[in-house]
Amino acid sequence: MRAEDLPTIPDGASTLRPLSPGQQGILLQHNAAPGSPIFNVPAALELSGPLDEHALRRALTDLVARHEVLRTTFPQHANEPLQAIHPPHEAELPVRDLGHLPASEQAQAVRELLDNEAAIPFALEHEMGLRCRLIRLAPERHVLFWMMHHIICDGWSKAVFATDLSALYAAHHAGIPLQLPELSVSYSDFAAEQCNTDPDVMEQHLLYWDKQLDGVAELPALVAAHSATEKPARGDSIALAIDAETTGQLQALARQYRSSLFMVLHTALAVALHQGSGHRDLLINTPYGGRPSPAFEPLIGFFVNVLALRTRLDGDPTFPELLAQVRGTALDAYEHSQAPIQHVAHRLTQRSRGRVGPLNEISLAFANLPYQDMRMTDLTVRSFPLTRVDVRYPVELHLWEGAAAREISGRLIFRTDLVSRDTAGALADAYHAILQSVASDPGQRLSQRVPLSPRFFEPSARTEAASLPSPPEAFAETSTDTERALLDIWAGLLHTDDISATDSFVDLGGHSLLVALMVAKIRDVFGVDLPVPTIYQDPTLRSVSAAIDAAAAT
């Protein structure tokens, strides 16, 4: 929906704006797993010293006023999701006092409390995407917890949040006015700009990805099969640390071959995945920061897109040869990063009847998280570790540079229902060993670098099934008037009439906007309001038809 198509609203009410394409993708996945906390982005800091709670509340209130996404909800209008930007308001900061507990029990109590908080999903239609809580352990010991929904933030945003909060707290604590640099643009400006991309330009971006991902749907799976609508499970994680000497050698290697450190880390992960699986055609997803100009850098918001970077390990390349391939692939992908990943996936599923191969298996994120060095006046600030792990991909590798970019830290996060801890540990060990090997001797060929050892991505029966072409399922014809009418709706939205009654709308490429359009057309044709979560519970044509019949009968 374009800005000029938005409904008029009364003075003083919320301002309605379109979602950015990236937000549309997040909302699709959020709705596909109702009740899941996988898009919660929590953080916690331990504050030692004389905390000024009044100054903290005022700082949070100013922060919410400054960044419109912190006071935004995502309602439906005419069955299309929109941003509703609410007027500035006083930020909520509930306080929980645990000072009555012995010091020996406080840390565990805080961890359990915050893990529970981090597990509570956001109700985006009517709830703003920021929650804060203060835990008082003693007069001069507190834990500050905040959590944003991913639809309003990215990795860069976490640093902006912390930096602005620190400056605002210092000013209010000192009782002096603070004028942060005025924001010349807003997140809704970015969203409108993205929504107004020339269709011909977008088609060229999508054609690039069509070519880049040609044949991906037939690639073998690394992990057990999982549905795009399957509710993700809890995860576990393994810590990684690359020492300063190795990090320096990797940085020098990147400079030598006119690459970035991310490209070196990505290439090493491809080698580790090859070592663990034997696969020579690999797909690794990576978030790519999409702030289009420096004016958007001081904003909190969701600006990233996911790029599916493909690496082929044909022949017996040296690491620099592989790095050159990864560099070229990444630079080309950056040029076409405007194509939203959900649209790329939609076209892939249309070409392969719902199969996406390893498109949603592995993710690599590399970033600097400066909020770890957050400063607050008269307080000692330390990160408070949270133990709960929620994971979107079966395997996610999160890496970041430490102080002064002298070392690399990270965590390998994995879904415990799809990947064993032994497998994840073997991958982490292999990755660490490859980085050390590359740092000391980059010229080795792949056959010299990868040991002839047992594969740690051993195919299970479920994985093997995902790696083989699916046997042709018996085509289920529509059998009721409702199914036939719904088939006509789907055919118009998906641009195909080759649809079985047992096909899933999501697996056929139905993203969040198409689901919203389907709901609108169901209302027009059948005269019933079908909630979006009802569709996502079982998005097959037959099940949605049954839900329509049930709604019509009430």
> Is residue 455 over pLDDT 80?
no
Of 135, 159, 190, the position where a domain reaches its end is 190
Of the listed ranges 150-154, 229-233, 439-443, the least confidently predicted one is 229-233
Residues 226 and 88 in one domain: no
pLDDT in tens, 174-192: 999 887 899 999 999 999 9
- Is 473 part of a structural domain of the chain? no
78 or 147, greater pLDDT: 147
Residues 260 and 389 in one domain: yes
Beta bridge partners of 312: 281
pLDDT number for residue 369: 54
Residue 475 — very low, low, confident or very high, per pLDDT cuts 50/70/90? confident
pLDDT in tens, 123-138: 999 999 999 999 999 9
Residues 238 and 386 in one domain: yes
Of 190, 221, 254, the position where a domain reaches its end is 190
DSSP 42: E
Residues 207 and 129 in one domain: no
Amino acid at 207: L
Of the listed ranges 96-105, 227-236, 270-279, the least confidently predicted one is 227-236
User: Residue 267's domain is classified under what CATH number?
Assistant: 3.30.559.30
Query: Residue 57 belongs to what domain range?
Result: 3-190
- Is 476 part of a structural domain of the chain? no
> Is residue 467 over pLDDT 60?
no
| Percent of the chain scoring above 90 in pLDDT | 64
Residues 455 and 506 in one domain: no
What is the pTM (predicted TM-score) of this model? 0.84
pLDDT number for residue 461: 38
Of the listed ranges 54-68, 103-117, 272-286, 396-410, the least confidently predicted one is 396-410
Residues 59 and 204 in one domain: no
Residues 224 and 109 in one domain: no
pLDDT number for residue 460: 47
Residues 363 and 290 in one domain: yes
Residue 464 — very low, low, confident or very high, per pLDDT cuts 50/70/90? very low
Residue 405 — very low, low, confident or very high, per pLDDT cuts 50/70/90? low
How far out from the chain centre does Cα 304 lie?
9
Q: Which helix (H) or strand (E) holds 24?
A: helix 21-32
User: In this structure, how many other beta carbons lie within 10 angstroms of the beta carbon of residue 196?
Assistant: 10
Residues 548 and 431 in one domain: no
Of 466, 494, 527, the position where a domain reaches its end is 466
- Is 474 part of a structural domain of the chain? no
Residues 238-252 have a mean pLDDT of 95
- Is 44 part of a structural domain of the chain? yes
pLDDT number for residue 189: 95
- Is 268 part of a structural domain of the chain? yes
Q: Which long-range contacts (CB under 8 A, 24 or more apart) does 433-442 make?
A: 434/268, 434/271, 434/272, 434/275, 435/242, 435/246, 435/250, 435/265, 435/268, 436/246, 438/250, 438/253, 438/264, 438/268, 438/319, 439/246, 439/249, 439/250, 439/253, 440/249, 442/253, 442/318, 442/319, 442/320
Nearest to 361 by CA among 430, 291, 423: 423
Please tell me the total count of domains within the chain: 3
DSSP 406: -
pLDDT number for residue 368: 60
Of the listed ranges 34-38, 97-101, 102-106, the least confidently predicted one is 34-38
pLDDT in tens, 503-534: 888 778 776 667 877 887 898 899 998 887 78
User: Residue 14's domain is classified under what CATH number?
Assistant: 3.30.559.10
pLDDT number for residue 345: 85
pLDDT number for residue 343: 87
Residues 401 and 549 in one domain: no
User: In this structure, how many other beta carbons lie within 10 angstroms of the beta carbon of residue 354?
Assistant: 17
Structure tokens at 421: 């801890």
Residues 341 and 428 in one domain: yes
Residues 480-485 have a mean pLDDT of 95
User: Residue 495's domain is classified under what CATH number?
Assistant: 1.10.1200.10
> Is residue 14 over pLDDT 80?
no
pLDDT in tens, 295-353: 999 999 999 999 999 999 999 999 999 999 999 999 999 999 999 998 898 888 777 76
pLDDT in tens, 22-55: 998 898 778 767 778 989 999 999 999 999 999 9
Of the listed ranges 80-84, 338-342, 351-355, 363-367, the least confidently predicted one is 351-355
Nearest to 47 by CA among 166, 198, 168: 166
**Which class for 443: exposed (0-12), middle (13-18), buried (19 or more C-beta within 10 A)?**
exposed
464 or 167, greater pLDDT: 167
Residues 186 and 324 in one domain: no
